[in-house]
Chain A
Amino acid sequence: MKHTEQELKKLSETLALSASEKDTHKDALRSFMREHPVVAPSPFAPFAFGFFRYALAIVVVLAVTGTGVTFASEGATPGDALYAIKVKVNEPARIALTRDPEKRADLEVALVDRRLKEFAEASAREDVDEGVTDLVVESLSDRLEDAHGDILTLRAEGVAASAALDTAVDLYSTLSAHTEVLTRVSEENPESFDDIKRIRNTIASHITITESVRTALRRAVNEDESDVAVGIAVMAKQGAATGTLEATTLQVAADTDTFDDGDRHAVDDAITQIRNAVEAASEESGRGDRKNALRLYGEVDEQITRLRTLIDADQSLGFDIIERSRHSDDEAEKTEEIEPETEDGDSSLLDGLFPGP
């Protein structure tokens, strides 16, 4: 066997689960298997199935009416009776229970994304009122403040600047993309205009801070991180970007119910632009300027997040988002209320917050 093949084979020896990891997963698997037994086929199967359904119904009733209220509220949407429990109880509890600082910051960004998505869907079906909007504004503000706080403390907790930057880029692009979606919802449903405007103003008041955090972290990457560390981050980003683009292409191609030819062309255009950006970043990396490559991959991440958010919205809102976004890129830039006060954000807001290397 030749050299490269031998090296590949050796990976099977070095890349493996430890004994304790294997046991941990086996225990979890056994537990799951006990809760979901495989029953041998029996001539009495129809009767057994009927009994199972009856038992399942009792479990569901207990879950909803007993201690399972928080469980049942997880699927609540704006306007539902349990929505307040979801945003004021469930989500803060999840955050509090997430010890790892990076995972906690990522969770907060994911919850911001969820909040905005829920609100857009409720607005699209004209299911929002002042009370719902008050709740969403409060929850969104809390999540954004928590996200900013946690991103800022990542460095203090020893997390690399490039990892913290990833989360800041994710948050910024999530807020930008959802602003686009909400603009579109507002056009479709003029009655929701005032409520949507409140949410957009909430976003606007926080996006400046997000941009400042992003700028400061970019500076920290340039100044503090070694070329080797940045190179490793660049490699990971390339793999992730390629994988996500392939999966997105497959998803849109497969969903012929939601996406028409216009949508597919718009997505193809966006993916082509993103691929060009990936190539540009790859060239920078090839030339040895890995820090610039990392910055370019950050822009790739922003474009991917935007595209994915628009695709999700197109699927869930019932009116055109993607194709319209292709024609209204200029309009999005003119949306002055979300323009930051300075071109790259005022990173002096964060002076003294990042400890030295």
Chain B
Amino acid sequence: MKRIDEKVFIEAYDSYADALFRYCYFRVYDRERARELMQETFLKAWEYLHKGNEIENLRAFLYKVAHNVCVNEAIRSKSVSLDEMHETVGYDPEDQQQLSPERQAEGSLLMERLTLLSETDRETLALRYVEGLPVAEIATMLGETPNATSVRIHRALARLKKEMGTA
């Protein structure tokens, strides 16, 4: 097991901060809160190391911490305000100057349809297709068998396609 020191942890931050930010975003649909939750994830993971614990798979551990942080957030969350939604992809074109109008519209529709899925479906699709994680790793995070996760992904995608009208 590779010892995790400050250098290794910062490298992990550089590698995974964006992915964890997106993971949190798909749970809370609030950009600022997703940033805070991403930060909280790294702080909690480091605190775990600071207490003398060891981590075998840092990426998996970070996702697990992010999952718990998001569950706690759901317990104390408020509704996302209209102004905060303006900061999401496709809802504030000024932040997406390089995107064509067609891309902005597609992104908006996708984001809208994703909210119609359950949180678990959103999480699974985000891990598989947005982050490109292998099924086996997602299964480990969710505490399922790879087969169960594969079926879950397939069904979630089918539901999303139905909502998008592309089934």
Residue A349 is within 8 A (CB to CB) of chain B in the complex: no
Determine the chain B residues whose CB is within 8 A of the CB of A39 once the complex forms: 52
User: If the complex has contacts A166-B78, A238-B116, A242-B118, are A16 and B22 also in contact, measured as CB distance less than 8 A?
Assistant: yes
Determine the chain B residues whose CB is within 8 A of the CB of A247 once the complex forms: 71, 74-75
* Chain A: CB-nearest residue to B85: A232
Contact A242–B119 (Cβ < 8 Å): yes
Determine the chain A residues whose CB is within 8 A of the CB of B99 once the complex forms: 14
Contact with B along A89-115 (1 / 0, CB 8 A): 000000000000010001000000000
Determine the chain B residues whose CB is within 8 A of the CB of A25 once the complex forms: 13, 17, 35, 38-39, 42
Q: B17: which of A3, A7, A22, A162 is its contact (CB, 8 Å)?
A: A22
Determine the chain B residues whose CB is within 8 A of the CB of A162 once the complex forms: 81-82
Q: B107: which of A14, A26, A240 is its contact (CB, 8 Å)?
A: A14
Residue A256 is within 8 A (CB to CB) of chain B in the complex: no
Residue B29 is within 8 A (CB to CB) of chain A in the complex: yes
* Chain A: CB-nearest residue to B72: A247
Main secondary structure of the interface of A (DSSP, over half): helix
Determine the chain A residues whose CB is within 8 A of the CB of B43 once the complex forms: 29, 32
Contact with A along B100-125 (1 / 0, CB 8 A): 00010011001010011011000001
Contact A4–B160 (Cβ < 8 Å): yes
- Give CA–CA (A236, B49) in the complex, Å: 36
* Chain B: CB-nearest residue to A103: B32
Determine the chain B residues whose CB is within 8 A of the CB of A237 once the complex forms: 79-80
Q: A12: which of B22, B47, B52 is its contact (CB, 8 Å)?
A: B22
Contact B78–A243 (Cβ < 8 Å): no
Contact B29–A239 (Cβ < 8 Å): yes
Instruction: Write the nearest CB–CB distance from A101 to chain B, whole angstroms.
Output: 10
Contact A38–B50 (Cβ < 8 Å): yes
User: If the complex has contacts A11-B22, A16-B18, are A40 and B29 also in contact, measured as CB distance less than 8 A?
Assistant: no
Contact A17–B35 (Cβ < 8 Å): yes
Interface residues on B, range: 35 or more
- Give CA–CA (A162, B75) in the complex, Å: 22
- Give CA–CA (A16, B71) in the complex, Å: 22
Instruction: Write the nearest CB–CB distance from A167 to chain B, whole angstroms.
Output: 8
Residue B4 is within 8 A (CB to CB) of chain A in the complex: yes
- Give CA–CA (A237, B77) in the complex, Å: 11
Determine the chain A residues whose CB is within 8 A of the CB of B75 once the complex forms: 244, 247-248, 251, 308
Contact A11–B89 (Cβ < 8 Å): yes
Residue A82 is within 8 A (CB to CB) of chain B in the complex: no
* Chain B: CB-nearest residue to A232: B85
Contact with A along B39-56 (1 / 0, CB 8 A): 100110011011010000
Residue B145 is within 8 A (CB to CB) of chain A in the complex: no
Determine the chain A residues whose CB is within 8 A of the CB of B144 once the complex forms: none
- Give CA–CA (A36, B42) in the complex, Å: 13
Q: B47: which of A26, A28, A36 is its contact (CB, 8 Å)?
A: A36
Residue A352 is within 8 A (CB to CB) of chain B in the complex: no
- Give CA–CA (A308, B5) in the complex, Å: 41
Task: List residues of chain B with CB under 8 Å of any chain A CB.
Answer: 3-6, 9-10, 13-14, 17-19, 21-22, 25, 27-29, 35, 38-39, 42-43, 46-47, 49-50, 52, 71, 74-75, 77-86, 88-91, 96, 99, 103, 106-107, 110, 112, 115-116, 118-119, 125-126, 129-132, 157, 160-161, 164, 166
27 A-B residue pairings within 8 Å (CB atoms): A4-B157, A4-B161, A10-B103, A11-B89, A12-B18, A12-B130, A12-B132, A14-B96, A15-B88, A17-B21, A21-B35, A25-B17, A25-B38, A37-B6, A38-B5, A38-B49, A160-B83, A166-B78, A229-B82, A232-B86, A236-B81, A239-B29, A243-B28, A243-B77, A250-B71, A297-B79, A308-B75
Additional pairs, 17, CB under 8 Å, beyond known A7-B106, A12-B132, A308-B75: A9-B132, A11-B89, A12-B22, A29-B46, A36-B46, A37-B6, A38-B4, A38-B49, A39-B52, A102-B83, A170-B78, A232-B86, A233-B81, A235-B112, A236-B79, A239-B115, A247-B71
